[in-house]
Homo-oligomer: A and B are copies of this chain.
Amino acid sequence: MIKTLLNHRSIRKYLPDSINEATINNILTAGIRASNTGNMQVYSIIVSSKNETKQKLWEVHFKQDMILQAPLLITFCADFNRFVKWCKLRKAEPGYDNFLSFITAATDALLVAQNVALAAEHCGLGICYLGTTTYNAGKIIEILNIPKGVVPITSLVIGYPDEKPELTDRLPPEAVIHYETYHDYSSDDIDKYYFDKENSSLAKDLLITNKKETLAQIFTDNRYTHKDNVFFSKSFLDVIKEQGFMNNE
């Protein structure tokens, strides 16, 4: 178990081998055992495997090849639709069309996703999360016929690995763990905690390839820019509103 947790690497090249149904069921069953809020299970799991569906999702996930290579693309959604339908059929007046309910349901969905990811890795499969899910949630909603009350929050590509990447680096534990209360970072702390990352051969190669002076600039100027973040903030907030989670009065 701990070994599986410690050995995680995201896989971005997959073999075309399909995954047998029993394995898929085991992985999903393990997913559903995750903690959830008040046992309401306010999430849905959409398992897409047909080429036609995956091709459409590939378009909105920035055309990453791994989506077409791997046999499964699973979309995890915050979902109050099912629970609200149940309430309405049972003389109960649901009050779940607000932002807190979205956060609650998104949390449920993300814990399920991580269980599914770990169960898959335990079965010898590789996984990769797609952050692009929130970027293009509106288009995913169209492709997957997702109704009101449901918002895609993350996706997992799952399949047999066709690469063996090295473990990626992490900041030293003391950089992200605080004891008792939060201890804010001095400039010296930042220098110390980012030293290894900034002095790795990976970082040095990236600076040359991207023609940048610092590694941080590769994040701010190329990978996660202000412009993109603002654009996708607006579009994701619009999706949350359109799906019925912004009635906060």
Interfacial residues, chain A to chain B (CB-CB below 8 A): 1-2, 4-8, 10, 25-26, 28-35, 37-41, 43-50, 53, 77, 79, 81-83, 85-87, 89-96, 98-101, 103-104, 106-107, 110-111, 113-115, 117-119, 122, 127-129, 131, 134-135, 143-147, 150, 153-154, 168-171, 173, 175-185, 187, 190-191, 193-194, 213-217, 219-221, 223-227, 229-230, 232-234, 236-237, 248-249
Contacts and interface: CB of A to CB of B under 8 A. Distances in A.
Most buried by B among A79, A144, A153, A232: A232
Contacts of A150: 182
A47 B178 contact: yes
Given A150-B182, A177-B28, A190 B82 contact: yes
Given A47-B177, A92-B221, 9 more contacts: A5-B118, A7-B33, A32-B170, A46-B179, A85-B187, A92-B217, A95-B220, A96-B224, A110-B114
Nearest to A128: B35
A159 to B, nearest CB: 16
Contacts of A35: 8, 10, 117, 127-129
A152 B179 CA distance: 15
B90 A177 contact: no
Contact of A103 (B129, B184, B236): B236
A143 B178 CA distance: 14
A238 to B, nearest CB: 11
A108 B221 CA distance: 21
Contacts of A232: 100
A100 to B, nearest CB: 4
Given A34-B114, A45-B178, A169-B39, A230 B249 contact: yes
A62 to B, nearest CB: 13
A237 to B, nearest CB: 6
Nearest to A129: B35
A190 B47 contact: no
Contacts of A181: 46, 48, 53, 143-145
Nearest to A212: B92
Contacts of A6: 29-30, 33
